[in-house]
Each structure stands twice: as C-alpha cells, then as structure tokens.
Structure 1
Amino acid sequence: MAQSGPDPIVITAEGLPETSGSAAYGAVSIGRERILQTPGTRFEYLLGDVAGLQQFRRSDSRSANPTAQGLNARSLGGNASTRTLVLLDGVPITDPFFGYVPFSQLVPDTLQEVRVTRGGGSGAFGAGALAGTVELESAPPGALPPLSARAAYGSRDSRQAAAVLSGKLGSGAASAFASYDGGDGFFTAPADQRGPADVPAAYESVAAGIRGGAPLGASSALSVSARLFRDDRTLRFGGADSRSEGEDVSLRVTRQAPWAVDALAYVQRRGFSNRVISSSNFNLVLDQRSTPSTGYGGKIEIRPPVGPAAVLRLGADIRGASGELYEDAYSAATGARTEARNGGGRNLSGGLFAEGDLTAGDVTLTAGLRGDLWRIKNGFYTARSPQGVTVEDARYPDRSGEELTARAGIRWAPNPALALRAAAYTGYRLPTLNELYRPFVVFPVVTQANADLDTERLRGGEVGLDAAPLPGVRLTATVFWNELRDAIANVTVAENLRQRRNVDAIEAKGAELGLSAEVGVFDLRASYAYSDARVRGTGAAAALDGFRPSQSPAHSLSATLGAEPRQGARLSATLRHVGAQFEDDRQENRLPPATTVDLFAAWPLGQGVSLVGRAENLLDETIITRDTGEAIDLGTPRTLWLGLRYSG
C-alpha cells in the first residue's frame, strides 16, 4: 500500500507471486488495514478472523504456556503441536523443539498480508501442512511510511509500544522495527480457587528486527532479514515463570524473468525455560532450566517459462531441527531435588516438489507432487539421582523413511459472480522433538513422551463455491472431509498418567462459510466453521473411539461490523464464539462455550496522529481455558486500551 513520503521504491526480493491455481484451494486473505485495526492486541487474535483456526487452548499469548501455542484447523487437534505450516516471508517459524508458534515475535505493524489455506498442502516446505498453511507476508520496505509508531495503556497497568522505520538504502530499501508489550496480568484462577501463592499472570515481551533488500541487476534482488524476541510470563503461581526467546536470520535471492527463481536459506536459535509450582503446597516441582534448539533449512524454486496460460514450479527444500532439554525434578513434599534429566535428538527432512497450473478459458487446473526423505536420529533420554547415579539411560535407534504426497484442484468460473472449486490432498508430519523425548506435568497429570511415535498422514478433499451475488458482497462456502491417520494424541493409560501415542485416526468432516460486504461507509466480515471430528481408536486407544479430540470445538464464529465515518477514522465491533470442547481425551472435563465482544476505534487528530481505543472481552465473559476437574484456568477478562498512533 503506497504511503505519503518519498517516491515509491521498487519492491526488492519479495517472494514470487501467487499462482492462479491457489484459488482452487479457497484461500482466505487478511489485508493490512484489518491487521492494523483489530480489537485484540496480540497477533493470534487476528487469526481468529478465520473461524476454525485456533490455538490448542483458548488462552492468548499473555497467559498461556508458550508450549501450548500450537495452531490447528478443522478440529484436527488432540495435543499442543502445530499441524499447520506457518511461514513468515517463506520461512517456517514454528519452534524447532516444541512445534509451537512464537506469536510474540510477530509485530502486526510490519505485515502486509496474512493468507490462510485450510487443508493439506504441497509445494515448498509442504511436509508440515496437514490442517492448513498460514502465510505471513511482510510489507515491503519501500511500501511502508518513513515512520510509524504507536503506544497504548490499558487495564491492569498494561503497556504497549511499537515503531517501524523504513526508507531507501543505497539502491534498495530497508526497514527496522521494535516492539514492547507488558502488564501486571490477571488472576487465571477463579476467586474461590485462589490460594496464598496465586498471583496475576504478569507478562513482558520484546521483539526487534531489520529487513532490507537491494537489486542484483535488472530482474534479480537480494533480501536479508534478522529478528529477535524474548517473552517472559508468570503462570498462576508466584515463581511459576517461563521464558521463550530466539533469533532468526534468513537470506533470499529472487529472479523474476524469464526463468523465475526463488532461493531461500534460514537459521533459527531458540530457547525455553519454565518453572512448575505444586498447587498443593506451592513448592517448586520442576525446573525446566534450559531447552536450547536450532532450526535450519532452505529451498530453491524455479519457474521456467511455459507460456502465458500456465505456471510450472520445480524445486527442492530441506528442514532440520535439533535440540535437547535440561531439567531438574523436585519433591513437592520436601522441596529436595530428586532427579536431573537430559534428552533430545534431531529431525531432518528434505524433498523435491513440482506443481503446475493451467488456465483454459474459465477453468483453472492445478496439481502438485512432493517426494520426501526424513530421518529421526540421535535420540536419547537420561535421568540421574541427586548423587549422580544413573536412573535411566535410553539411546533410541535412528529411523528413516520416505513419503509421497500430492494435491490437485480445479476451479470453474463461468461468470464473474460465481466460481465452483474442488480439491483433494495428502500430507504428512514428523513428530516433534518434544513429542518424542520430553515428558511433562500439568498437575496432577503426568504425560510421558514416546520415542517410537510414527509420522502423521493426512488425506482429504473438499468442494466449495465463491459467489458475488451483489456489488460489494462476496460469499464463500466449503464442505470438507479430512482423515488424519496415526494422529498423535495424549492418551490416558492410568489415573493421572498419559502418554503420547498414535491413535488410528482423527476423522473430521464439516463446513466453512464466509461473508464479506461493503455498503456505503459500512462493512461486514464474517466466518463460521463447523467440524464433526471423531477419534478412531483400537488397542490402548479403544477407550477414545468415537470421542472428539481434546480442545476441539464443533462450532466457531467470527463476525466484524465496521464503519469509516470519515477519512482516516474507523469504528468496529467483533463478535467471537467458540463452542464447547473437552479438556481431556476421555471427555470427562467439559469446557463450556464462550462468546466475546470486542471493540476498536480510531479517530484522526491531524498531522498523521490518531487516537486509538480498544476493548477486549467488553462484556467480561468468563472464558474457561483449562479444567482438570480439580482446578480451573481462565482466559482474558475485560481489558480496555487507549493510545496514539502515528504514520507519516
């Protein structure tokens, strides 16, 4: 989006453009205006615009344990790992060890577009796209204003600030950003369950980064991106502190014509620590003092010239993750250290992919094929007594395999007001290092790791339509069926004991509806998702057969009504509803539905300055995020914000 300031700069080293075949998969796009105008102040709130796309738990990234920030769709849940492929400027950003999405490093002010495609994926890095793909595209440095900044103050001493600088740099352009978010937080336990150790869920996060690009001749360009973040949270009890942090660097070279090329390489360093406090006597029971991990990878994609009506994508990619945990266990009764644990390993996958699109009149055909090799290696887990005596010393055999996945779609648009589409796809996902090697406790339940976990495999299909029955009105509808075989779930094996295991399958079928409309100064954007997801289980998982996966609601809805009463002004109200879901795999602890109302208002004051107000959970709905039968955790209560924003 062009802004006032210097003359526009040629966009350098952005990814290759989307192809016409992507329309066959019914992608949903969220533009920059909506990104900057959401009532929610955390990035994951924006993703709630796409109904059915959600984190593992209802908590946001101020009060959730970061490792629970898995992102899924279509109720293909059951544990906290991410089954969507999340890309930032083409780079996979999920944590290399845990598989969660580091929302704290995502600063909305820097983004141009968010594109969500539900269903299995292919193409570059497509090996992890089971429930869908979320593509985050940064605003090109040359398309940003020279300076944009915001600051706000909210309930419970909450503070936010962010700034983005952008401008020419030699023959190219560069941008830099920094953000801060912190507050005293709220009590996550209901008043009648609080004890002397309960404290508000205080939080503080910082993020910063630079991004720049320069031309390498008439049709080629180079870009470099570097980002860092740190996120500190307190989870219910005094001393129950967690920290996640990381640094990401990527390098990208693109060529536009005649042989289009996109080459990308990245490396990520991440860290995590967490202290678990007993809910009975408030002693430290687990100190996850360090979990260092590294992610790395790259891709090369070539698009040879095949004519104006066709696109051919050929390429290869590789992804690696290595990491290990260092943690100490303590007796809840005495506070004495009982065990020192260390475990970890390495995952590696790489593949070749080919995708092609062909447009013939009002019909678009698309198809893609991936062949992957993967390896799980160097897995180990050790436990030692306080005296240094080895209690457990496991060395797991290396494993490897191959996967062939594909997708295909067709879209027929007989006139500008109607398009019909259909798609089918397969996919797979390797278990994360966390699932393979790290046990954990959410008191009083212990969940064991499982180094023998198999890969998850998806197959599915959908049909849909896109319609524009009236000027300014757009309707979408999709009916889908997905089957996730060998789904990894936390399976109850004894009282207060679970283990990560492959269940036979999770089968999900349902429908997704979308509506957008503009009438005068008013606009409406709505999304609804229904998913009937059921576990198929035999053997140890037979008790789960026919149950819904945990943390998987059947119904979800998001609707935003907005207005622009004058140039630069914006008023909107957002209604969100999430249906009932179950905390556990055996459907013993039900989490009731939750409906929230949020408000956003921006009013120009002149000279590029606007007054901005936000209201999160205006009606103060009680949102239950966890219920073990003995303890309840709550989500964000009513939170009011007032601030200023500058762009110029």
Structure 2
Amino acid sequence: MTFPLRRSIYPLLSAALAGFAQPVFAQDAATDTEEDLPEEETVAETIIVTGRGLPDAPATPAYAMQVIDREEITSSASGRIEDVLASVAGFQQFRRSDSRSSNPSAQGVTLRALGGNATSRALVLLDGVPMADPFFGYIPLPALVPERLASIRVTRGGGSGAFGSGAVAGTIELESADAATLGFASASVLANDRGGTEVGASLNPQLGSGFASVSGRYDRGPGFFTTPVDQRVPATSRSNYDSWSVSLRGVAPVAANTELQARALVFRDERTLRFEGADSSSSGEDMSLRLVGQGAWQFDALGYVQRRDFSNIVISSTRFVPVLDQRKTPSTGYGGKLEVRPPLGPNHVLRVGADYRGASGTLNEEAYSAFSGNLTSRRRAGGTNGDLGLFAEHDWTIADVILTGGVRLDRWSIRDGFYRAVDGSGAVERDDIYADRSGWDTSLRGGILYRPSDVLALRAAAYSGLRVPTLNELYRPFVVFPVVTEANAELANEQLRGYEVGFDLTPSANIGLSLTAFDNQVENAIANVTLEENLRQRRNVDAVRSRGIEAAADARFGAWEVDASIAWTDAEIEGSDASALLDGNRPPQTPTFAGSARLAYVPSADVQIAATLRHVSAQFEDDQETDVLPAATTLDAFAEFGLTEAFSLVLRGENLLDERIVTRNQSGSIDLGVPRTLWAGVRYRIR
C-alpha cells in the first residue's frame, strides 16, 4: 500500500540531509579571539551534534522512573520492543500476547494496573513524537525496532506536564541511537525452529558534522496455533505474520548550539489470527522535524505528521466464513511542540511552551450474513479530535533539595463525529451526527527531591493528567464473537489524580535500589461495561483506583549484571448507576503482581549471555470477574558470541519452560501466547 504522504516525506528529508556535508564551526571561547590571531591562524572548533532533545531537568528523578540501557534493549529473546518493556514491572499490554499473535488494535499499553479497554493510557514517545495510532490509540509495536534505540525511560504516573496530554498512567520515552552508537553498518539474519525469519540492516554514516541513519527490518513467520488442540477445527490457522519497517533519520547542525533532526518511518504489518482468512493489517508513514537549541536560551521545536491505516476481517466462529470486513480505517495524526528554557541561573530551570495534537479518521466496513454470504450492511464512522496545551514548569535547587512544580492547561475538542449505516440494498439504517464538544482542563504536578547524602535520595510527588477519548472509543463498535461491544459518542475525558513517595539508594557505583509507594486514580475511566449477556458498551465508570508498591534493583559485579523489578498493585473499579455491579471489581487484564529479573554475563565486548525470568499473576478477562487468565512464569535467554572482528553468532530462546500462557478466555474460548521458540543467526557489524 502506498500513501500520497510519501511524495512529501522524501523531498523534505532530502532537504534536511543536504546540509550534513557542510561542517559548522564555532569559535572556541577558551582561546584567543579572532582579532588576536593572524587570519590564517583563526581557531575553529567542529560542532558535534547529539541527536537528542534538551537535557533532563534537575527534578526529573523526583518522579518514579526506570531507564533501560542499550545493552538490555538489544538482548531481548524475541527482538521485539514489547518484550524489552516487559522488564519494567507494571508495564502491560491489553493482552498478554505479543505483536506477532494479537490483533493490532489490542496493542494498547499502560502502567500501574490502570489498564482497561485496549487504548493506551501510557504516553509513548519516539524522539519526542507521540506514537499512538490517531484513530485507535494502539502502539505500532513492530515498527519500533529495539536495535534503533539508545535508551528507554519509563516514568510511571507523573501526569501530563510538558510531555503532552495522554499520560494518565505514565510516559515511555524512546530515544534513537546516534551513528557512533550504531556503528557505520550492521546486518543480521535469524531463523527460528518454526520457520520464522528476521532480517535487519542499517547504514549510519557520519556526514560532515552530522550523521544519517537508514535502517530496515523484515519479519515473517508461519507463527503457532493460538487455539488449544481441543478447540481447533479445520478452519483453524496458525498466527502467521509478515511485517517490515524502514526508518530514515538525519541530524545536522544549522548554527552554533543548534541542530536540526529529521526522521521518517514507513511500516506495514500483516497478521492472521485464529481462523483462515481472519487477516488484519496496519500500515503507516510518519515524518517529524525537530530543531533543538542548546544555547543560553534553550529551545525545542518539533512538528510531525502521521498517516496510518488499519484493516481487519472477522471470521464467524461457527460457520467459519467472513462476516465483517473492516476494509480500511485511514487516519491522520499531526501536531507539534515548542518548549523554551530562559537563562535564570544555575539554580533555576523554567520550562514554558505549548503543544498541539490533532487526529482525524474514518472507519469503513461491510457486514455479511454468515449463512448466505450476502452483504447486510455498510458502515462509516469517524470524527476529529484536537488538543492544544499550554504548560509551565519550574525546578528550583536549594542546596540538597530540588523543588519542582508545573501547570498545564488543555483546550480539547471533539468534533465532526458521525456514524452512518445502510443495509445491503442501500436503505439507511442509521445516520447519526454527533454534537461538537470542547472545553478546558487544568493539570498540575509537583514534587520534591532531597539528597541527604551521596547514597540516598528521597522523593515525593503529586500530579494530575488528562486523556481525551479516542475516535475508536467514541465511534467504532466491534465484535469478538459472541460479544458485541458498542461505541459511545458521549464519553467524557479521563482525569488522573495521584501521588507517590519513594527513595533511591546507591550504596556504591555498582549497586542501585529504588522503592516507590503510590496511589493513582483515573476518574471517568473508560471501560467496556457489560450491559447484558454478550452485549457491552464503552462507558465512563466513576474511577479506576490503583494503589501499590514498585521496587527495582540493579548490581554490577565484574562481568556479571543483575536487574530486577517488581510491582504489587491493589486495583479496583469504583462504579455506580450502570456500572454499579462493577464496584469493587478488579479492572480486566490487570494482574496483582508482576516481576522480572535479568542475569547477564558480559566478559568482553564480543560476548554477552543473558537470562530473564518473569512472572505475572492471574488476571480476569472480563469486568464481571468470571473468566480467569491463570498466572504465568516464563524464562527467556539471549547469547551473542563474536566469531571474527565483524561477525557474531546470536542465539535466542523465548519461553524456554514452554509455559502455557492464556492470553484470552471468552467463556472458555481460549487463545494462547508464544510457546517455546528457539532462534539462531548471525550479526555483522562495521564499527
């Protein structure tokens, strides 16, 4: 599939890269001035670009966060970003299945057991750009290739602040690696014991004072049977998948202390789930331009546009013929951000700015009779959402104490909403036009970080946040047979209220411990509420409240590394009126306990061996707490051995214990997660 946007991406990117071969020079302030030297002896210093945004504010550690470094990112057993993020206890997708064996629209991510209905409650950023699908709110996980990243920072809770709206459960910041980190060129080829393959390559030249990075990845495989043996029928299919993505990134200096960053991402992902013909696809083309100034007046100006599409065919689970063809759901996301930090002295950092995020999209689908195969209905639905945010945040350092406080004002709008359905003959069944809505919401956050000694940091924070319902939640009904879930154009915004306290302990340079206790509540939480048997609707419940404890530890002893993370949460729904029967129930898909531990042995730059043990406690599939997803414990492994200066052998093992992972339980109709999977391949690098 191609999009018209492609014709605009590449000329813009080429123009940004055109300046890379032109080195920019700045006068070295520590040397004599130009007037003091003969013309031929003028001293110049080459500017080295970073490819990153502005430096972290001093109070960043006041909020509970966890950083994943590149070594851990690139050593996951599956080679997929959701597997990397699973090492952060409290991270979860809507379902336990990964992005090879789930429907893309179920790839919402959240933190702190605040999950709900497959839409992301955590804000995911790639180099500052929100990655959620403009229509559905899911994250295009196959397009976020771990090898392209330098680090990941996960901030649990924390409200919206300068990140933008949507961070009701937290923020996941993905930072791309620069050319020096990636090396001049690399390539890898791996295959697994079921015939799946993974091929990747990148070229990352230094160009003048800047750099460029071009990388691609292709994954395909026959997959595995997600259906248990006793529930398979002749129409049952393996979860085969076929996906690719290409990323182009360039960074160049445009003036002293100022650099331009350009990025383009093109991807397509196709999957078949459960039955032959139950095919889904998601695709996209993204582009962003970012100008970062590191001078006395620091600034970060970002603009982006995203073109996405989604299709899905639903197969009857009784007659095994197509009953719904969601043939396309084109959507567009667009927005930008401007942040300025005026020079206020070494003890003050002030961040002021504005951001905007817009989304528009349209669902196009056709329904068919399972008995005759005749067209029974054509449907179109969609609308436009917008959010303009104004923010200010101030960090004040007073000796061993850092105080921080921020305010954000959001002007949100929900407009142009409609739902139209005609029957097979063209007669109108429904033609709904929904009233436009808009309003203002205020979010606050503040915290304190106190370092009584070099080894201990005490912290406390309180915050609020906002999430506007997605176009999917507002306008798109769906069916997971036999359950029908209706949309709801009257949904209110979700509002986060929360606080936390914790400490970080570093008794030595090689050991780190952290502990956080939190109480977070999402008011007007959007959930799929059961109205009667096999009928649900998206509704605002009074709140989803989550209280718990998070802990993390890391240690380095010579060539050995240990990282561990656990989260225990007591989460419950607060409901009344239509959701009164849910009051006190645990939110669907949310475990009480999740933990992860990784042991790695890295004796040299050419050898790395790692094993990761994870446990997730039992969860409920539904809001009535009737269908249980049993607890699961998995063991993964990764190993890389240098064969020559350029080639290495890579071995990976997923779910080595072959644990039975139940990912869906719809009144006994079960889907399973990835079984034991063994990978082997080679990696080539030119540094």
Q: 1:79 aligns with which of 105, 110, 117?
A: 117
| Equivalence map 1:101-112=2 (5 Å) | 101-112=139-150
Q: Secondary structure, in 3 states, of the residue corresponding to 2:643?
A: strand
Asked if 1:376 is matched to 2:414, the reply is yes
Aligned 8 A contact 2:360 2:385 in 1: yes
Aligned 8 A contact 1:349 1:372 in 2: yes
Counterpart residue type for residue 296 of structure 2: P
Instruction: Point out the more displaced range, 47-56 or 603-612.
Output: 603-612
Q: 2:253 aligns with which of 186, 190, 215?
A: 215
| Equivalence map 1:439-450=2 (5 Å) | 439-450=477-488
Q: Which residue in the other structure is 1:228 paired with?
A: 266
Aligned 8 A contact 1:12 1:140 in 2: yes
| Aligned-partner Cα distance in 2 for 1:343–1:270 | 16
Q: Which residue in the other structure is 1:3 paired with?
A: none
Counterpart residue type for residue 242 of structure 1: S
Q: Which residue in the other structure is 2:349 paired with?
A: 311
| Aligned-partner Cα distance in 1 for 2:685–2:452 | 43
Deviations 1:276-296 (A, max 9, x none): 001111011110000000000
Counterpart residue type for residue 600 of structure 2: G
Deviations 1:196-241 (A, max 9, x none): 1001110011000211121111111111111100000001100000
Counterpart residue type for residue 110 of structure 2: N
Instruction: Point out the more displaced range, 618-627 or 159-168.
Output: 159-168
Deviation of 1:173 after TM superposition, in Å, equals 1.3
Q: 1:554 aligns with which of 574, 583, 592?
A: 592
Asked if 1:466 is matched to 2:508, the reply is no
Aligned 8 A contact 2:526 2:540 in 1: yes
Aligned 8 A contact 2:116 2:589 in 1: yes
Deviation of 1:471 after TM superposition, in Å, equals 4.9
Task: Compute the RMSD of aligned alpha carbons.
Answer: 1.3
Counterpart residue type for residue 109 of structure 1: E
Deviations 1:613-634 (A, max 9, x none): 0000001000000001141000
Deviation of 1:530 after TM superposition, in Å, equals 0.7
Q: Which residue in the other structure is 2:27 paired with?
A: none
Q: 1:117 aligns with which of 140, 155, 172?
A: 155
Instruction: Point out the more displaced range, 170-179 or 72-81.
Output: 170-179
Deviation of 1:470 after TM superposition, in Å, equals 4.5
Q: Which residue in the other structure is 1:5 paired with?
A: none
- CA separation of 1:273/1:34 partners in 2, compared to 1, >3 Å: closer, same or farther? same
Q: Percent identity?
A: 55
| Aligned-partner Cα distance in 2 for 1:234–1:624 | 18
- CA separation of 1:200/1:207 partners in 2, compared to 1, >3 Å: closer, same or farther? same
| Equivalence map 1:38-187=2 (5 Å) | 38-187=76-225
Asked if 1:351 is matched to 2:389, the reply is yes
Deviations 1:351-374 (A, max 9, x none): 110011111221111111101100
Q: Which residue in the other structure is 2:619 paired with?
A: 581
Q: Secondary structure, in 3 states, of the residue corresponding to 1:565?
A: strand
Counterpart residue type for residue 32 of structure 1: R
Aligned 8 A contact 2:49 2:253 in 1: no
Q: Which runs of 5+ in 2 are unaligned?
A: 1-45
Deviation of 1:125 after TM superposition, in Å, equals 4.1
Q: Secondary structure, in 3 states, of the residue corresponding to 1:414?
A: coil
Instruction: Calculate the TM-score normalised by the size of structure 1.
Output: 0.98
| Aligned-partner Cα distance in 2 for 1:566–1:22 | 33
Q: Which residue in the other structure is 1:296 paired with?
A: 334
Deviation of 1:331 after TM superposition, in Å, equals 1.4
Q: Which residue in the other structure is 2:20 paired with?
A: none
Instruction: Point out the more displaced range, 187-196 or 364-373.
Output: 364-373
Counterpart residue type for residue 407 of structure 1: R
| Equivalence map 1:244-283=2 (5 Å) | 244-283=282-321
Aligned 8 A contact 1:10 1:142 in 2: no
Counterpart residue type for residue 193 of structure 2: S
Q: Which residue in the other structure is 2:647 paired with?
A: 609
Q: Which residue in the other structure is 2:361 paired with?
A: 323
Counterpart residue type for residue 220 of structure 1: T
| Aligned-partner Cα distance in 1 for 2:509–2:56 | 25
Structure with the greater alpha carbon radius of gyration: 2
Asked if 1:595 is matched to 2:633, the reply is yes
Instruction: Point out the more displaced range, 370-379 or 356-365.
Output: 356-365
Counterpart residue type for residue 600 of structure 1: F
| Aligned-partner Cα distance in 2 for 1:609–1:315 | 47
| Aligned-partner Cα distance in 2 for 1:515–1:285 | 50
Deviation of 1:523 after TM superposition, in Å, equals 1.1
Counterpart residue type for residue 397 of structure 2: T
Aligned 8 A contact 2:47 2:209 in 1: no
Aligned 8 A contact 2:608 2:640 in 1: yes
Instruction: Point out the more displaced range, 417-426 or 209-218.
Output: 209-218
Asked if 1:23 is matched to 2:61, the reply is yes
Deviation of 1:150 after TM superposition, in Å, equals 1.3
Q: 1:529 aligns with which of 546, 552, 567?
A: 567
Deviations 1:563-621 (A, max 9, x none): 12344211111101111000001001011000000011111111221111000000100
| Aligned-partner Cα distance in 2 for 1:313–1:141 | 29
| Aligned-partner Cα distance in 2 for 1:387–1:355 | 58
Aligned 8 A contact 1:141 1:211 in 2: no
Counterpart residue type for residue 308 of structure 2: R
Q: Which residue in the other structure is 2:435 paired with?
A: 397
* Pairs aligned (count): 642
Q: Which residue in the other structure is 1:4 paired with?
A: none
Instruction: Calculate the TM-score normalised by the size of structure 2.
Output: 0.92
Q: Secondary structure, in 3 states, of the residue corresponding to 2:525?
A: strand
Q: Which residue in the other structure is 1:488 paired with?
A: 526
Deviations 1:313-336 (A, max 9, x none): 110000000001000011122222
Counterpart residue type for residue 110 of structure 1: R
Q: Secondary structure, in 3 states, of the residue corresponding to 2:161?
A: coil
Counterpart residue type for residue 396 of structure 2: L
Deviation of 1:12 after TM superposition, in Å, equals 4.7
Asked if 1:363 is matched to 2:401, the reply is yes
Q: 2:675 aligns with which of 613, 620, 637?
A: 637
Aligned 8 A contact 1:11 1:142 in 2: no
Counterpart residue type for residue 543 of structure 2: A
Aligned 8 A contact 2:460 2:501 in 1: yes
Counterpart residue type for residue 60 of structure 1: D
Asked if 1:520 is matched to 2:558, the reply is yes
Deviations 1:123-162 (A, max 9, x none): 3342110000000000123443100221101121110011
| Aligned-partner Cα distance in 2 for 1:73–1:143 | 29
